[in-house]
Structure 1
Amino acid sequence: MMALRRVLFTIVVAVFSTLSLSVAFLLGRSSWENERPSQPIRQLAAYELARAIPPHGLKLAGRDDCTPPTETETALLQTAVDVLAFPHEMSRSLGNGSMRLLSSPLIRRGEEAVFFLCDDQNIFQTAQMYIQENEHLLKGRLTEFGFALIGRLPSPSADLARKVAESAFSDTPQESDSLRRDLRPLARATLASIKGASTPYADRAFSEITIENSMGTGAAQIAVAGGHPQALAKVELLMDQLLVSLPVGGPVPWDQRNRLYEMAQALAFAGPAAKDHVGPLKELMNREVESNATIFGMVSLPPRRMCPLLEQILQVPITETEYTYCDPSVGPFGLEQ
């Protein structure tokens, strides 16, 4: 019996010793960590509005470069829309998958070419009705596909517009669901695309306009779309100043090109009202720009992505302008990246 007690006593002592050492280690580690200098939180890179093709949040009317969908492709879209007839609490992942499918144009891949399929407006009208009735996209945080889908709806609801504005003017970065990107610039472009939604935010957006980053150019898009009386003149001035600061003779550097593209998108939100402010856009289109050719580095190309923007502002066929590279039958082919 005494031997058993000694064994039990030894075990208890060993356990308490181990616990004491563990507690001491944890307390010491906690103290050491508290004394360490805090590490800065890694900043999220801003979403590059200029990289989106076509520009997110900018609906270009009259596009004829799409291919009519087949009966099977139309049935696929209709199936995705039918899922949205169920409340979000029921559809869950299936509903999210349907909205992701609807958030970007369907693509048909041929042997030698890729075809973007035309949108069926009736299908998107139905999708909009179901999204509004069942409060899809209103719960949780909006990410890329949510902004893209809202930008494609014929007339998003006021509730969706407010949801977009909350992200657009949030004081904290809105992280994407796939890449470490701050989605606030994308939210701003999407807000600008919703007819009438930018007006309440035009004054604040005007005060935040800058050509230094996509947050500032996104603010310009909202200010122009919201009808701020000084927005077009400010966009024109900032574009002029940036163009004048660039070296003469070489292509427009990639970063500056992106900011100029985003400001050009802001002009396009005004449509024909921007006719008297297209001077810097035309100057940009008279130059070549850097395009990212991945493993080949930067190459110089004409700014063909500006062609539909100028066409939307001037309200004339782009083939009737002096920019021959805007004619789809004239090379070089392909859009700058």
Structure 2
Amino acid sequence: MKVAIQRLGLALLLIGAGFVIGCSIVVQKSAQAVQLGDAIPLSMNPFERCVEPNADEMALFSVAVRTLEVVQGRLNSLGIGAMKFLGSGLLRRRAEDTVNVCGPEGTYDRVARLVSEYRMLEPGRLTEYDLNLAARLSKPDPYVVTAIANSAFNDLPQQSGIFESEDIRPLARSVLAGFRERSAEYAELAYKQMSANDSMGTSAAQIAAAAGHPLALDRIERMMADTLSAKDSIVPWKTKRRLYELAHAFALVGERGKLHLAPLRQLMTMKVQSWAPPFGMIENPPKRMCDLLTYIVGASSADDQAYPYCADDKIPYDQ
């Protein structure tokens, strides 16, 4: 009997050890599977064009804001739906294209007040709809800034609410960068984490620049130049994404960005890889940088001549 008990104890010990090892392997595999998301949320692009809302569209915005007023801090499916609508915005489909609809004047000021008053960014992990909504608040108060920063600089991956294996901390960092001087207390921390290696580093660069770190813009310019010097005339897709994220920092700093555009202009003379299912990767001009350059320096005949593809409707935007 004693031997049997000892054998049973040993068996349970081995089973327990196997369970722990198995869990460890699963956790490691899960951690390895998590990939960083990109660092430019559409809703914060400063050069995003929009058209004024018509009566029906204004009514939709009004209903969404009124919903947040009614649900207050009780973020049930109705309240979350309103936050998702206000965060993603509204598109108007026209015969020739699809355009963004501007939020009616004062709408997002009301939303900002409600988000802070009812603490809508807590508790728990923020997901895309929280971040996209925060990105549209032009004057976020300290509550919103802190909530986004806690996600942006969290030590643990912040799981996407859409893609199970995606870490959206880079998205949170881009949103924080969009707050510009209101994120100033995070400028030094962001500067220390800057790099061109991944979207965590490029989004840190956005924060450092937008928040006013005195050395950030020079360093971003050098990182872009160094990255381009190591490439052939065709920029690989992942490298393109990182360069675009770094260049985005120049659009967040106003006039100061104009002094650091040499690597962006070099990039715009090159070809970049573009994702074109089902054909795979193709080579295109970096047309997505055209609007960004125009936003920073204004319309320029010299740029029109240097980058004729920007005005060529036959050349698609790279993906």
TM bucket (normalised to shorter chain) is: 0.7 to 0.9
Residues 1:25 and 1:245: Cα distance change in structure 2 (over 3 Å)? same
For 2:39 and 2:316, the matched residues in 1 are separated by 19
Q: Does 1:331 align with 2:316?
A: no
User: Please, which moves more after superposition, 276-285 or 113-122?
Assistant: 113-122
Q: Report deviation, 1:109.
A: 3.1
Q: Which amino acid aligns with 1:275?
A: K
Q: Does 1:144 align with 2:128?
A: yes
Residues 1:134 and 1:244: Cα distance change in structure 2 (over 3 Å)? same
Q: 1:263 aligns with which of 246, 255, 258?
A: 246
Aligned position for 1:280: 263
Greater C-alpha radius of gyration: 1
Aligned position for 2:231: 246
For 2:292 and 2:271, the matched residues in 1 are separated by 17
Q: Does 1:165 align with 2:155?
A: no
Aligned position for 1:206: 191
Aligned position for 2:3: none
Q: Which sections of structure 1, spanning at least 5 residues, go unmatched?
A: 1-21
Q: Does 1:223 align with 2:211?
A: no
Q: Report deviation, 1:89.
A: 4.2
Contact 2:51 2:102 in 1 (8 A): yes
Q: Does 1:59 align with 2:46?
A: yes
User: Please, which moves more after superposition, 153-162 or 212-221?
Assistant: 153-162
SS in structure 2 at match of 1:38:
helix
Contact 2:39 2:173 in 1 (8 A): no
SS in structure 2 at match of 1:116:
strand
For 1:117 and 1:152, the matched residues in 2 are separated by 13
Q: Does 1:183 align with 2:168?
A: yes
Q: Does 1:33 align with 2:16?
A: no
TM-score by length of 2: 0.87
Aligned position for 2:139: 155
Residues 1:26 and 1:144: Cα distance change in structure 2 (over 3 Å)? same
Q: Report deviation, 1:212.
A: 0.4
Residues 1:91 and 1:233: Cα distance change in structure 2 (over 3 Å)? closer
Aligned position for 1:47: 37
Aligned position for 1:135: 119
Q: Which amino acid aligns with 2:264?
A: L
Aligned position for 1:69: 53
For 1:120 and 1:188, the matched residues in 2 are separated by 27
For 2:227 and 2:244, the matched residues in 1 are separated by 12
User: Please, which moves more after superposition, 124-133 or 143-152?
Assistant: 124-133
TM-score by length of 1: 0.83
Q: Does 1:194 align with 2:184?
A: no
For 1:66 and 1:159, the matched residues in 2 are separated by 28
Q: Report deviation, 1:69.
A: 2.6
Residues 1:275 and 1:91: Cα distance change in structure 2 (over 3 Å)? closer
Aligned position for 1:298: 281
Percent identical residues:
35
Q: 1:289 aligns with which of 264, 272, 280?
A: 272
Residues 1:26 and 1:74: Cα distance change in structure 2 (over 3 Å)? farther
Aligned position for 1:17: none
Count of aligned pairs: 305
Contact 1:143 1:177 in 2 (8 A): yes
Q: Report deviation, 1:299.
A: 1.4
C-alpha distance after superposition, 1:92-120 (max 9, x if no partner): 22111100001112123345532322222
Contact 2:73 2:118 in 1 (8 A): no
Contact 1:253 1:290 in 2 (8 A): yes
For 2:208 and 2:215, the matched residues in 1 are separated by 9
Where do 4+ consecutive residues of structure 1 move more than 4 Å? 22-28, 34-37
Aligned position for 2:299: 317
For 2:199 and 2:187, the matched residues in 1 are separated by 17
